[in-house]
Chains A and B, each alone.
Chain A
Amino acid sequence: MIEIRELYKYYGEARALGPVSVEIDQGEIVGLLGVNGAGKTTALRILACDLLPSSGSVRVDGIDVVERPEAVRERIGYLPDVPPLYGDMRVGEYLAFAARLRGVPSQDVSRRVGAVEELTALTDRHDDPISTLSHGYQQRVGIAQAIIHEPKLVVLDEPISGLDPVQIVEMRQLVRQLAGKHTVLVSSHILSEISETCDRILVIKDGQIVASGTEAELSARLIEGVRVRLTVRAAEPAAIEIARKTLGALDGVRALDTRDTVDGLTTFLVDTNAEVRPSLAKAIVGAGLELFELARVEHELESVFLRLADPGKSKAKEAS
């Protein structure tokens, strides 16, 4: 559905994007994840033909965005970070205008307006002036205008920005509802939104895609080694020291951190290069200590993202 090859975008001398090469298949829901200023909006604006690339090629449904922008725009529905809403218009009137603007035949306009209002739960707001709507409803109108012409590709730039928790859940459901009928590209700097709504994640940093895959794939690929949490029945300093020496002497153990001691149980965090849980268990039992718990610690996507997008922040967080 989307083929991007060696895409660059410069604002004057400053490189905002590139090199970017990526493909997105039809029907996928893909999240573009990155901190503010990473290049998300620039990439989406180029896809939506709002901005021209400095070099490289971008094809949507096989059509080049520079050579035939009007044909690409017919296939794309775009919700920018600020919804493009005329506050003086009523919801139904605005959606009908957007439909005609995007080439929906006159006889189908009412049907399409009704359909998207139903999908975005705006039916009761049909006659309300847009300026009187809450931010959440305005976002819905923004999505409704983006899908009014049944585009093959829907591009949503930070759709949950400024929404309250209830509205965020509703917006996620709405984005999931678009799946199947449309290919959806959603940008966000909020990890939970991306991981909960998208099939695949593209992590963008300094204008480049630095990682691509599902949440599990990214975690597996980017997290080195295994972290194990190990709890031993040891309250005395001498017993704790035995446990430390025993664990530290094992092959494959990179780092060892003694955490808290509660109710006679001491917890260790062990970073290893490989899967050494059986060896850890044998060593502790062999040292005459009682093993209470042994579990692999899953790294959260947030830590992966921080490591990719902002190494300094990631280190600070890990240190804390």
Chain B
Amino acid sequence: MDVSGRLACELDVSAGETVAVIGPNGAGKTTLVEAIAGTLIPAHDTSVRVGGDDWSARPPQLRHAGLVFQEHLLFPHLDARANVAFGPRARGLRRRDAAKEAVGWLERLGVGDLAGRRPGQLSGGQAQRVALARALATHPAVLLLDEPFSALDVSVAGELRDLLHLHLRDFPGATLLVTHDALDVRALADRVVVLEAGRVAQDDTPAAVAEAPATPHAARLLGLNVLAGTADGTDVRLDDGGVLVIAEAAHGRVLATFPPSAVTLTVDEPVGSARNRWRATVRRAVPREAVVRVHLHRTADTGAELYADVTRGAATELGLEAGRVVWASVKATEVTAFGAATRDAR
């Protein structure tokens, strides 16, 4: 896909691939989605090719893009089943067949029993499930998700994220996910495209962008440390081993997050108020303007990654380079933990 105008970028997405698009407001993320969906009046240089077809001149109705919006945009006067059946019916299916297909999709997304309800009677999470079913029911070639979970409760978003992950695994088309949420990127994206001021600033795997983010926005968004575990009071037994201390007590499955800026690196074992401290090996230290992003492994538990942001001065002082062993500590108060359903680690 090659879209230009207020947005100048060239983007290639393979079938089955999920690309996360991140960037600050006004960077052009929505423009990109609209250009692919066909709802934007295109500038002369726009070219959109999907599969072997050239979509550039087609109106939205003749493209095969499924759209899921932040505000579900379900038709308020139709019930869930009719909403999901809308696409298939519009493409020629008979009413009964479309209704059957619709119910099938609703069940696959866990809201089969809500088929007769109107959008006004659905919760945010339920509505978004229906919206997803509606988009998928047309078997689109491209799935476009524009911040689909940002209006939802954190735990509800988590459930939906897992659900989407399941469905994207089997989805044959290309998926573009516009998001402001690091968890979305982590859980769903094969690739991350960073947009800044209408241009592509970076196009790489999530890990690569997390380590060496090209823009401040990407830096803030990605590189978030995310640890899953089971909480029992203020202790969280991490899935990758070890214990994380959090400030507020919790119970059951949790996701614990803290930003790279909350991690302190020291040469010797720290003695202080930070309850969480691990020995860690530096894998890579990537300098940016004022900060160095350090990618570490918790030595005792290989595979458990950790990101820390330190000043250049500190990085030099501590001699942070690949292989260096240091102590990483995080205050329990810096950790945000919230309840999560069981999810496979990624």
Tell me whether A and B are bound partners: no
Query: Which residues from chain A sit less than 8 Å from chain B, CB to CB?
Result: none
